[in-house]
Amino acid sequence: MKLHAQFLQLHSHTADDKDEDHTVETTLDELAAIFDCTHRNALMIVQKMEQHDWIQWTPRRGRGRRSSLRFLIQPEDIAVQSMMQAIDRHDIKRALDEIRAHSRSSTMQEHLQGWLLNYFGHHAEVRSDQQQIDTLRLPIRQQLYTLDPLYLNWLAESFVSSHVFDGLARRANESGEILPGLAHAWEVDATRTQWTFFLRKEVLFHNGKILTADDVVYTFERLRRAPGRRLYHFIVRQIRHVQALSPTMVRFELKEPNELFLSFLCTSRAAIVPRELNQAGEAAFGIRPVGTGAFKVTEMNESLCTLEAFAPYFQGRAHLDRVEIVQLPWATKLESSDTEDNASSFHIIHNPISAGGTDAAWSQIHSAASVCKFITCNTYKDGPLRNPDVRARIVACLEQRNLPPEEVGASDNLYEPLAALQIATIPEYRPDADRVAAQLEAWGYTCNIVAASMNEFKSSSIRMESDLIIFSLFRDRDEQLRLFDLYLNVSGHVEPHSRVDIERLLREITRESDHTVRARQFEEIETRLIQEHQLHILYEKPVQTAYLPSVRGVSFNSQGWVDLRHVWFPPALSPSSTLS
């Protein structure tokens, strides 16, 4: 693979010097500088490329004479070769990094994407016993760092983890109704603080051990002990005690009633892990997890995660035999109709980007999920944003409408001209932060963007030191849990009188059993924050999935991604079997 990278490096450095015959005049001194090596090693590299028929090298000796180097192969072909080798060695990320580092235009990337379309999708292999092995190769843009339910940060991680682990309860894909999971039934007492769950018998972990109530107790004690603020920590800290009453019976005691508790048990965060987890270590468990799910992880690295069907799965074996999930840093486009042959094997694309006319063979469907990007104002911080008129002008700038008239008074003059506004976000949302900053700077504001890692962003210090905070809300079946978590965080950086009102409404929500009433209460919080210009929604877009008619069993999980448990492909028929 190193020789491929050196060829791309050489081609990129000499791009402006080649003639129409793809020939460049150079010297060993120049080649050694390009490869950052000695003359001897530069000559060895050139000779190896010549042996592969990649170049033609004509040396010329003598002072002032330049040797001739002619390229015999296109860099796009070398990039494809490099990618094929990387896939065989499961080192896709490094190959992509090298290709991008030495690509001077989008042509190579587009050529490589075309080749990748053939690599991804459904692939059937017929074994000697005539059994068909179905593999689905699926691209995702987000990197998978861990599948440990305790440390999930990204939707892609949650998507994969949901196929490896199960919770005590689950949501129906279509209706969102809460259904039995690892627990086949549950009861709650009159105080709504004691929840008793009855586990299914002989449910197996991927390592062959049987699930018991002790695993459930370990899972939630681990959640309670975890340091820092994590997603849905507001429910975890309400758990007073978890007790195994028998191998198949476990009881939760809450500090106070919380009507979102059962919904929480359906999330990936509350998935059950084995109590022997610490024997492997948490870091190792994140990339070699053991769950009870429909798929088990057989390999995971920076760019590839391989799942294989777990035959004893208690809810029935998945139809797919293997799923290979590959992290690609590029957006995946639906090819236009003139590339139908290339795109036909791709089968499933999450969040596609249309390129020209979308192929009519593709079906695009919207799940109930959407992503909402928003910006909040830190009015807890002593500064200009405590002035509602300043916030109103900032929102007007973001909405590209006429600014409201400035109030003349001591309170307004106190903050004019404004100091630089600090915008806090995470690196993945930097483009949104750049757009916001550009809009504000067009109206005379000065902005400073701080893009912190997810873990750093979760710490309150960065948010409390910033004026504007950009983040997102994922609206899915767990929207009310996510809204509660969002507004609880927002209440930490608003003025005291607003904080009191938000926290009061949140307490009412935890005691309200009616989903519709809770939805109205959440809307009341949102309306107030928007009216006070403490919350501004930048945009919202639905989660889309494109797939071909050959894909059967397409349904969405609670997060709006395709549920791989039910995906299947018709078996390939031999020509003789199709004859009547």
In a domain, 62, yes or no: yes
Determine the Cα–Cα distance for residues 301 and 86; give it in Å rounded to an integer.
Answer: 13
42 and 191: one domain? no
CATH number at 7 reads: 1.10.10.10
Strands 421-425 and 447-451, sheet pairing: parallel
Cβ contacts of 131 within 8 Å, gap of 6 or more: none
Q: How many CB atoms lie within 10 A of CB 324?
A: 21
Residue 568, CB-side half-sphere exposure with 13 Å CA sphere = 11
CATH number, residue 420: 3.10.105.10
Q: Is residue 58 domain-shared with residue 175, that is, in the same domain?
A: no
Token pair belonging to 213: 């109530």
pLDDT of residue 28: 87
- 263 and 388 share a domain? no
Largest CA distance in the chain: 97
Q: Is residue 330 part of a domain?
A: no
pLDDT value at position 377? 93
Domain edge (last residue) among 234, 257, 280 = 280
Please, are residues 472 and 485 in contact by the beta-carbon 8 Å criterion? Answer: no
In a domain, 344, yes or no: no
DSSP state of 501: H
Please tell me the predicted confidence (pLDDT) of residue 342: 30
> Is residue 580 included in any domain, yes or no?
no
- Boundary residue ending a domain (258, 280, 302): 280
149-204 pLDDT, tens digit each: 999 988 889 989 999 999 999 988 777 789 999 999 999 999 999 999 999 999 99
Calpha distance 344→8 (Å, rounded): 30
Q: Is residue 390 part of a domain?
A: yes
**The predicted structure's pLDDT at residue 413:** 44
Q: What pLDDT shows up at residue 78?
A: 82
274 and 392 co-located in one domain: no
Instruction: Note whether residue 425 is domain-resident.
Output: yes
- 271 plus 375 within the same structural domain: no
> What's the rounded Cα separation, in Å, for the pair 438 and 340?
39
At which of 19, 45, 73 does a domain end?
A: 73
- Whether residue 89 is contained in a domain is answered as no
Digit-coded pLDDT (tens) for 309-324: 999 999 999 999 999 9
- The CATH number that applies at residue 253 is 3.90.76.10
What range defines the domain where residue 65 resides?
A: 1-73
Specify whether the CB–CB gap between 355 and 166 falls below 8 A.
Answer: no
In contact, 374 and 538? CB cutoff 8 Å: yes
502 and 389 in one domain?
A: yes
Q: Is residue 254 part of a domain?
A: yes
- Contact residues for 127 (Cβ-Cβ < 8 A; gap 6+): 133
Instruction: Mark whether 186 and 53 lie in a shared domain.
Output: no
- Note whether 32 and 38 are within 8 A (CB): yes
pLDDT at 334: 41
Query: CA-CA distance, 484 to 130, in Å (whole number)?
Result: 52
68 and 194: one domain? no
Structure confidence at residue 344 (pLDDT): 30
Do residues 18 and 10 make contact, with C-beta atoms less than 8 angstroms apart?
Answer: no
486 and 381 assigned to the same domain: yes
Distance in angstroms (rounded) separating the CA atoms of residues 349 and 336: 14
State both tokens at 512.
């309200």
* Structural domains counted in the chain: 3
* Sheet of 23-26, strands arranged across: 23-26, 67-71, 55-58
Looking at the fold, whether 379 and 269 belong to one and the same domain comes out as no
pLDDT tens for the chain, 580 residues long, are: 588 888 888 888 876 666 667 788 988 888 999 898 998 999 999 999 999 999 999 988 777 788 999 999 888 788 777 777 776 666 666 666 655 655 555 566 666 666 666 677 788 887 777 788 899 888 887 888 999 999 998 888 998 999 999 999 998 877 778 999 999 999 999 999 999 999 999 999 999 999 999 999 999 999 999 887 788 888 999 999 999 999 999 999 999 999 999 999 999 999 999 998 867 777 889 999 999 999 999 999 877 899 999 999 999 999 999 999 887 765 544 433 333 333 233 345 554 444 444 444 545 555 567 889 999 999 988 888 989 999 999 999 998 765 555 543 333 444 455 678 999 999 889 999 999 999 999 888 999 999 988 878 876 688 888 999 999 888 888 889 999 999 998 888 888 888 999 999 999 999 999 999 999 999 999 999 999 999 999 998 877 666 666 778 877 776 677 889 998 888 766 655 555 5
Residue 340: predicted pLDDT: 31
Please check whether residue 142 is in contact with residue 218, taking contact to mean a CB–CB distance below 8 angstroms.
no
DSSP symbol at 483: H
Give the closest residue to 475 by CA, choosing from 563, 429, 537: 537
Q: Indicate whether 376 and 271 sit together in one domain.
A: no
pLDDT for 359: 47
H and E: helices and strands count for the chain: 21, 22
> Hey, is 272 helix, strand or coil?
coil
H or E element, residue 327? strand 322-327
Residues with Cβ within 8 Å of 80's Cβ and at least 6 positions away in sequence, in order, are 111, 112, 115
pLDDT the model gives residue 332: 47
Kindly state whether residues 391 and 498 are assigned to the same domain: yes
Q: What was the pLDDT predicted at 411? A: 39
